[in-house]
Amino acid sequence: MAVTDQAIDKLRAMIASGELRPGQRLPREADLAADLGLSRSSLREAVRALSLLRILDVRQGDGTYVSSLSSESLVDTLSFIADFHQDSSVLDLLEVRRILEPAASARAALACTPADVDDLRTILDKAGPDSPVEELVSADIEFHRAIADLSRNPVLASLIESVSGRTQRARLWRGITEEGALARTLAEHRSIFDAISAHDAGLASSWATVHVAGVESWLRQTL
C-alpha cells in the first residue's frame, strides 16, 4: 500500500474508532504526523485526498476538521478505500476493459459520422484540468460509454458498461491520490478522440489500450 494510502487508512481508523469525531478539529499537523508515524508530506497528501472526498474540511487560517456528517456516514464513505485495497478482482475487470475498449474504439473510428464526432467532442469538453474530481470521473464514464455506443455493437457496448461501472471507484481513487493522473486522463481522452475523428481505427485502438493500461498499472502497484 502506498504511503499516502497508509496515512489515509490510519485517519480512517481514527474516525471509525471515534478517536476523531464529526466536527472535531484535527491536532496540529506536526503532532498528528508524529502520533501516526508519518512524514508531514504524507499526512498532507492524505488530508488533501480526504478533503476531496468531503471527509475532512480544510479551513484556511483555522485548521482541518472532520466533516459534520454522522460517524456512520463517514465510515461508510471511507469503507470503499479499505474494500478497494483488499479486493483484487478490480484488476480482472480492468484486464477485460483493456481487451474490450480498444476494439470498441476501433469500430467507433470506422463507424462514426460527423454528428457523432460533434457529440463526442461535447462530452470531451465537459471537463477540464480545473474540474472537481467527481466531474472528471463522470465525464470519463460518459466518454467511454459514448465510444462503446459508437461501436454499433450493442452486445459489446453492454459488456463494456457492465465492466466499466465496477471500476469507477478505482478510477476515482487514482484521480484523487496519484499526482498528474487527471491531466494524463484528459490528454489520453483527447488522443482517442482525435484518432476516432480521423477514422484511424488502429490509432484509436492503440490509445485506448494505453489509457486503460495506465489505470491497470497504477492499481497493480497500489495493491
Domains of the chain: 3-85 (1.10.10.10), 88-222 (1.20.120.530)
- CA pair distance 140, 6, nearest whole angstrom: 27
pLDDT of 89 > 90? The answer is no
pLDDT of 2 > 80? The answer is no
Are 77 and 169 in contact by the 8 Å Cβ rule? The answer is: no
pLDDT at 87: 57
Q: What is the pLDDT of residues 139-181, one digit of tens each?
A: 888 999 999 999 999 999 999 998 887 787 777 778 777 778 8
| Percent helix / strand / coil, the chain, rounded to 5 | 75, 5, 20
pLDDT at 110: 97
Other Cβ atoms less than 10 A from the Cβ of 103: the count is 17
Which pTM was predicted? 0.71
- CA pair distance 15, 9, nearest whole angstrom: 10
> Which of 192 and 217 is assigned the larger pLDDT?
192
Q: Is 63 helix (H, G, I), strand (E, B) or coil?
A: strand
